[in-house]
Structure 1
């Protein structure tokens, strides 16, 4: 069953473009902010991986990694709203999927501070994409709250998956490997 889920995720990654950055949303406010991260497989995989990574480390990492990601994502969102240029945003986002998936796959213990720095760095790219692509009619505050809430939900999903598979370390590691492969497909696309 789990192997089929991984295979399905890989097929979806191979067949789906990174749609979170197409500017296709015309809704405004909170709902637009919530839907934006859900529209791109790259965002979903990276944010779920943050939750899996947090579960791998345990303890205070369960709240510190998601908090670091959301906080720095909001900083990146402000940079996008302000028009500050960040080069290679799409590459940074796809690289976050590869690296976070690989980190989970390898199962190495990281110091929580270093893990927070890693996810925070990648969060800037994700937030920038959200902020730079805010629909013209959306209010920045509600839109930002929406993408922060959606991200927290995806982190929670990753934590729940990590806790469910805690007794089967190979399951989380296999999920991490699948995410990393999906990230490589995104980078190649």
Structure 2
């Protein structure tokens, strides 16, 4: 394996505090919003995994990341505007990590519309969580920009891993899915 997958595995293996504790925070600026997706391994792993999976497995690799970002934005706008807390939000985030890990590990291909729909469904809970913590459109814009950057990084890494050994892809996907298990155990 090259250094890039090892660095990503190290990042994904961190046990930093969750980015969404259920408590409202006071992040109001663009920088606060841009840094927010980087504060928890769950959001970071999900956003990178979408790009990695898209580049490795999908014929239209930009559709899933764009759908993810759009759904994330919708979830965030809904919870920001109304204070709505999605039922079973943490469970949905945990499931999204497990699914994304499997998609990466198995390099699961699907038609472009199905890939975009899958990404959108998996993203909504992440957006709803972000929306409860961000205040104002500047922080929301920062979060969307950070999401796009993370998707781009994932796409670049996924492109490099298209011809990587099955074991490398499997370990990368397993590291994302392991975060779901860690969340269940209260570790991440």
> 164, 168, 183: which one pairs with 1:186?
183
1:105/1:172 contact within 8 Å kept: yes
Structure-2 residue corresponding to 1:88: 88
The alignment yields a C-alpha RMSD, in angstroms, of 2.2
Matched, 1:149 2:151: no
* Most deviating of 76-85 and 24-33: 24-33
Are 1:32 and 1:143, in contact at CA under 8 Å, matched by a contact in 2?
Answer: yes
The alpha-carbon distance between structure 1 residues 24 and 169, as it changes in their structure 2 partners (threshold 3 A), is farther
The TM-score with structure 1 as length reference comes to 0.85
Residues in 2 aligned to 1:40 and 1:163: alpha-carbon distance in whole angstroms = 24
Alignment of 1:108-119 (within 5 A): 108-119=108-119
In structure 1, C-alpha distance between the alignment counterparts of 2:100 and 2:75, rounded to whole Å: 18
Tell me if the contact between 2:19 and 2:37 (Cα under 8 Å) persists in the aligned partners.
no
| Contact kept? 1:20, 1:43, Cα under 8 Å | no
**Structure with the higher fraction of residues in helix conformation:** 1
Is 2:85–2:132's contact at 8 Å kept on the other side of the alignment?
A: no
Structure 1 residues 134 and 27: alpha-carbon distance in aligned structure 2, compared to 1, 3 A threshold: closer
1:168-189 C-alpha deviation (Å, 9 max, x unpaired): 1422332111111122112221
Query: Structure 1: how far apart are the matches of 2:84 and 2:22?
Result: 19
Runs of 4+ in 1 over 4 A off after TM superposition: 1-7, 22-27
Q: How far is the alpha carbon of 1:79 from its aligned partner?
A: 1.4
Structure 2 match to 1:37? 37
Match of 1:161 in 2: 157
Which residue is 2:69 aligned to? 70
Task: Work out whether 1:51 is the aligned partner of 2:65.
Answer: no
Q: Is the 8 A contact 2:59 2:112 kept in 1?
A: no
Deviation at 1:109, TM superposition (A): 1.4
Aligned partners of 1:66, 1:112: CA distance in 2, in Å? 11
Check conservation: 2:48, 2:150, Cα contact below 8 A.
yes
Aligned length: 182
Larger displacement relative to structure 2 (20-29 or 97-106)? 20-29
Equivalence for 2:10? 8
Structure 2: runs of 5+ lacking an equivalent: none
C-alpha separation between the residues in 2 aligned to 1:99 and 1:84? Answer: 25
